[in-house]
Structure 1
Amino acid sequence: MVADWVSFNVIDTERQDWARGWAKLKAFTEREGHARVPYEHKEGAFPLGTWVAEHGKLTADKLQAPAALGLEWAA
């Protein structure tokens, strides 16, 4: 039962965060013509710059989507 709760509440929240961040990054990229988001930048109330910085180490499947926008993660 605990594993189900963790799976639903933690993993689902992580997916929602990823989806929200990706949508904000896509909008930023379309508007600005690049994906170099300043660390302090917010899209509305969403801390996009922080989100980009925190998601610098991702799995291969999640790296493919930002690469399509021309975003290169720092090593």
Structure 2
Amino acid sequence: ERQDWARGWAKLKEYTEREGHARVPYEHKEGAFPLGQWVAEQRRAYGAGQMTGQRAQRLERLGMVWSP
């Protein structure tokens, strides 16, 4: 699970560096990786209180928008 999360974070970092924001459309994929779905799952976990503070901070540094 940690490896999957790190992969998603790295893909989001690539996306934000290229696009200038972290508002990823749900259907968006980075290559074969379903980045939009991954971001939606992070929002769900955050809203449910199931995300560690460290992960939330790492996403926020990339410009994560918790409420789209």
For the aligned pair, the TM-score class normalised by the smaller chain equals 0.7 to 0.9
Computing the radius of gyration over CA atoms, which structure comes out larger, 1 or 2? 1
Match of 1:17 in 2: 4
Match of 2:22 in 1: 35
CA distance, structure 1, for counterparts of residue 8 and residue 27 of structure 2: 14
- CA shift for structure 1 position 61: 1.1
Instruction: Extract structure 1 runs of 4+ deviating beyond 3 A.
Output: none
Match of 1:5 in 2: none
- In the superposition, the TM-score normalised over structure 1's length comes to 0.77
* Aligned partner letter, 2:67: A
Q: Is it true that 1:62 corresponds to 2:49 in the alignment? A: no
5+ residue gaps, structure 1? 1-13
5+ residue gaps, structure 2? none
The total of aligned residue pairs comes to 62
Task: Identify which range, 64-73 or 27-36, moves more after superposition.
Answer: 64-73
The structure showing larger relative contact order (alpha-carbon pairs under 8 Å, at least 6 residues apart) is: 2
